[in-house]
Chain A
Amino acid sequence: MRHVISLLIENESGALSRVSGLFSARGYNIESLTVAPTEDASMSRMTIVTSGSDDIIEQITKQLNKLVEVIKVVDISESAHIERELMITKVRATGKDRDEMKRMADIFRARVIDVTDTSYVIELTGSQSKLDAFIDAIDPALILEIVRSGVCGIGRGDRILKV
């Protein structure tokens, strides 16, 4: 089962490698991992998308909690939550493809953020499945480059992850 784990961690050098090292050492999956400082610069927030049986997810959260620099760990996918990912795509945009590509971007509520004679750079935010759907919808031969940020997640309503 897919899980989205959010955690707060001391913003210190080496903290990221402690987390990634834990996953590789114990053979856990990482589908994506994002990290950046929070409003309090001494603290970073990480979102890890992983998968495994209930036993494995229990071990993952316990092992993360055990890391000395980890302040809090929550499996936000246990209840209502929101996930967003950013994707930036560079596509070939010439001839009839140029209009078609713009139309597709509009349909997906993406934005064209860079334009040349032959290419567009398209910015799209949404759930993982929405980004996947966009890739499926455009002609793969036209894709020059794709970069995805990995998933960021947050609990809905009263569920707050804070120190």
Chain B
Amino acid sequence: MSINWFKYSSPQTFYPLAGKMIPWFAGLATILAIAGLYISFAVAPTDFQQGEAYRIIFVHVPAAWMSMVIYIVMAGWAGLGLALNARLSAMMAQALAPTGAIFTLLALVTGSLWGKPMWGAWWVWDARLTSELILLFLYLGFIALQSSIDDPRRADRAGALLALVGVVNVPIIYFSVKWWNTLHQGSSINMGAAPKMAATMLMGMLLMALAFWMYTVAVALMRVRCIMLERERSADWVKALSTTAGGKS
């Protein structure tokens, strides 16, 4: 028996599937966020050096992780769309970009809120802050390019190429900025080395990261459903939706 790998690669079949998945991911995001916030604010001990202000890292660090992961995932979808000429992949890339940009902004804002009591400055030209800012520029460039091209097919492919060029450049930018200047504290979680933070703190951070993941998936699916309807508005299955169930999954 052969599996049809491409069954859900067409908007018509993916639209209802996405509709069914959204409540699950949204629910998981809510539960994980409640648990994560409870651990971060009620259970995790006060840091002996940084006091209560350190608790912002429970939002800051997962947001920074997500901002980087989403760019890579977005470029992956974009590359897939370019290689296989699949419409849905390009739509997924387009749907992920705003969420990635928002997480990047969130990481920057929470970082500066943390930086004010810790470093005494809202902003310092440190390597990781600067590369996060550049990542925001890359997201904005992707969104701007896609929205300024009217033909959706060309917009998809041009955006995909830009995302791939960006992904090749991200490590180069990161290391150039890192050598340029650094006074950020060393990262607290290192692969290979034992984490220096308390287990509850790590737990809170990981739960928040998972919550952000689920949120990203739910929101991206919602957005991709809108994009599908907009792009396929003249297709028969979209017209059928509007006449029967009023757009419900």
**Do A and B interact?**
no
Binding site for B on A (CB under 8 A): none
Binding site for A on B (CB under 8 A): none
